[in-house]
Amino acid sequence: MSENLLSSETSEDFAKARNKALFNEIQHFLNPEETTLISFSDIKKMLKPGNETYLGMKTVPVKLIVGSESRYQDFDNRFFPKKMHLKTRWEHIDMAHIKDINLPPITLYELGGLYFVRDGNHRVSVAKAKGVEFIDAEVVSLQSEIHLNPKDSLQKITKQVISYEKRVFYSETGFGDVTDYWVLDFSVPGQYDVIYNHILTHKYYINMNKTEEIGMDQAILSWFRTVYLPVIRVIDRHHVLKYFKGRTKSDMYVYIIKYWDEIKTKFGNDFTIDDAATAYTSKFGKSFWRRLLNRIKKILLKKKIEKEQL
């Protein structure tokens, strides 16, 4: 096959892959996060892995490669190219694939049973576009107690991590048994540590005025009744969740408490928790139509930038 024909074939292959990324984006117009390639740093931050182990050379199933260390903005969740500037490099890799030229192995991180690209994103993209089942890779494994599913989106993985954190928190603190409250739920990881610190701080201030220190169970119950529930009632009273899609009452508790501390530091203690809730909602809350308008603006801006790059 002549070089011109090969060049035409690789150009067509890239166009097909690029169009699949565009169609994927259109399909998920209202939920663009579902098309996002998983960032290794985000997963690492969520899972908090243990020791690293060098596994050496392995033959890895391509379907288990689900994310990237540094190029997660250039490819969609199926590793199809999102940006036109990837075209030249992508086509060179595709050309090597067509000519059956052996390329150096890619390098991967393994975490939770899945793989994340450290080097070789274009090679993975071409492999997935061509339906290649296995690829040679140099692998470093990170220890994790959570096993991930390759079919899960970042959102599902996030929920899995949050569920794990909740089980650990409830098990180690006995929170549910003490409060009989089993819906301390969050939409983002790491918040159970925040709650635990809130309880410890509450316990510290209570014990400052006591000759005999209260135990953890008493501190949990006191915090729940005198701090958490009053804030939740404020959140309900002002219909705060209406303006924060996908958030929970416990999310808003954390955000509003933090915001309340910030405004009291700046403006004094005259601001009530009701003031903080309404101010936070006014500043950060978005209605459905406002979210939709912002999404349309982002897409139009993206199209304009891509058109200028052509």
Q: What is the pLDDT of residues 128-154, one digit of tens each?
A: 999 999 999 999 999 998 899 888 888
Report how far apart, in Å, the C-alpha atoms of 13 and of each of 71, 83, 126, 188, 298 are. Answer: 20, 14, 9, 38, 27
144 and 170 fall within a common domain: no
3-state SS record for 174-243: CHHHHHCCCCCCCCCCCHHHHHHHHHHHHHHHHHHCCCCCCCHHHHHHHHHHHHHHHHHHHHHHCCHHHH
The answer on 177 and 76 residing in a single domain is: no
Q: Select from 136, 158, 161 the least CA-distant residue to 36.
A: 158
The predicted model gives 281-292 an average pLDDT of 68
Residue pLDDT, tens place only, 218-257: 999 999 999 999 999 999 999 999 999 889 999 999 999 9
Domain boundary among 102, 131, 150: 150
* pLDDT beyond 80 at 305: no
Coil/strand/helix, residue 60: strand
Nearest to 134 by CA among 61, 233, 41: 61
Are 133 and 158 found together in one domain?
no
Is 310 domain-assigned? no
Same domain, 145 and 24: yes
Contact yes or no for 36/154 (Cβ under 8 A): yes
> Rounded mean pLDDT of 205-225?
92
Whether residues 12 and 129 share a domain: the answer is yes
Are residues 214 and 145 part of one domain? no
Q: Which domain holds residue 124?
A: 3-150
Residue 142: inside a domain, yes or no? yes
Last residue within a domain, chosen from 150, 185, 205: 150
Q: Phi and psi of 301, rounded to 5°?
A: -65, -40
Q: Give the model's confidence band at 168: pLDDT under 50 very low, under 70 low, under 90 confident, else very high.
A: very high
Q: Do 181 and 285 share a domain, yes or no?
A: yes
Nearest to 18 by CA among 68, 88, 65: 88
Tell which of 122, 150, 178 closes a domain: 150
Number of residues that this document lists for the chain: 310
173: nearest Cα among 207, 210, 206, 219: 219
Is residue 141 located within the same domain as residue 259?
no
**Residue 309 to residue 303: CA distance in whole angstroms:** 10
C-alpha span between 294 and 284 (Å, rounded): 14
Tell me the C-alpha distance between 153 and 42, whole Å.
13
pLDDT of 297: 57
Pairwise CA distance, residues 90 & 174, whole Å:
53
Q: What are the tens digits of pLDDT across the range 19-35?
A: 999 988 888 877 777 88
User: Could you tell me if residue 256 is inside a domain?
Assistant: yes
- Residue 35, helix vs strand vs coil: helix
Residue 264 and residue 140 in one domain = no
CB distance 125 to 117 below 8 Å: no
Helix (H, G, I), strand (E, B) or coil at 156: helix
- Could you tell me which residues come within 8 angstroms of residue 247 by beta carbon, excluding any fewer than 6 positions away? 187, 241
Average pLDDT on 192-213 reads 93
DSSP state of 40: H
Asked, for residue 300, whether it belongs to a domain, the answer is no
Maximum separation of any 2 CA atoms in the chain, in Å: 89
Q: What pairs with residue 56 in β-bridges?
A: 139
Q: What is the pLDDT of residue 294?
A: 55
The number of domains in the chain is 2
Tell me: do 141 and 211 sit in the same domain. Answer: no
**Does the residue 21 lie in any domain?**
yes
Q: How far apart are CA 177 and CA 66, in angstroms?
A: 38
Claim to verify: residue 180 and residue 232 sit in the same structural domain: yes
Q: Does residue 304 lie within any of the structural domains? A: no
- Residue 267 CA to its chain's centroid (Å): 34
Same domain (yes/no): 57, 172: no
Q: Is a pLDDT exceeding 90 seen at residue 202?
A: yes
| Cβ-contact 259, 239 below 8 angstroms | no
Question: Which pLDDT tens digit goes with each residue over 89-120?
Answer: 999 999 999 999 999 999 999 999 999 999 99
In degrees to the nearest 10, what's the CA dihedral of 57, 61, 67, 71? 60
Q: Is residue 297 part of a domain?
A: no
- 259-273: average pLDDT: 89
Contact 172, 166 (CB under 8 A): no
Asked whether residue 309 is domain-assigned, the answer is no
Whether 4 has a pLDDT exceeding 80, the answer reads: no
